[in-house]
Amino acid sequence: MIAKPQYFLVVLGMWWCWAGNTVQAGLPLPKMLFNTPENCKRITGYGKHDLPGVARGYKVSPDTVRFVKAQWGRNPAGNFQCNMVFTTPSGRKHCTVFNIVQDEFIFGQAVTIPGNKAICFDPKR
């Protein structure tokens, strides 16, 4: 028996799936925002892989990592970027934001792939 293929089409932020002779609409797709100082200030949360990614980088338990805020600032190379600030047992860490996503709220992603480490650094005093 050969299965009928499913076709996906993205239309105005909604996904539509045709299977057989039925059509179903899904939830709206999250909106990706540009990484700008204004959008960085709008971040109120973090991605689902961020706490484990920060913890993995510093070899601590994810239960000991907390999100503090997002802020526009410099990276170790001196360039400006959006950073998410986390507290860890070894102090505050600033982590590079790769994506800013608007869903039900606006959140940053410091880790986009499960199992990866966040790219973090100690803030300059």
Could you report the per-residue pLDDT of 8-63, keeping only the tens digit for each? Answer: 433 334 344 344 444 556 678 899 999 999 999 999 999 999 999 999 999 999 99
Tally of domains in the chain: 1
Residue range 84-96: average pLDDT?
Answer: 97
**More confidently predicted of 71 and 25:** 71
Q: Is residue 41 in some structural domain?
A: yes
Query: What's the confidence (pLDDT) of residue 9?
Result: 39
Quick one: CA dihedral 53, 109, 64, 89, positive or negative?
positive
Query: What's the confidence (pLDDT) of residue 51?
Result: 97
Domain containing 58: what range? 32-121
Q: Is residue 1 in some structural domain?
A: no
Q: Is residue 10 in some structural domain?
A: no
Q: Is residue 76 in some structural domain?
A: yes
Residue range 99-111: average pLDDT?
Answer: 96
Q: Is residue 2 in some structural domain?
A: no
Instruction: For residue 114, count other CB atoms closer than 10 A to its CB.
Output: 9
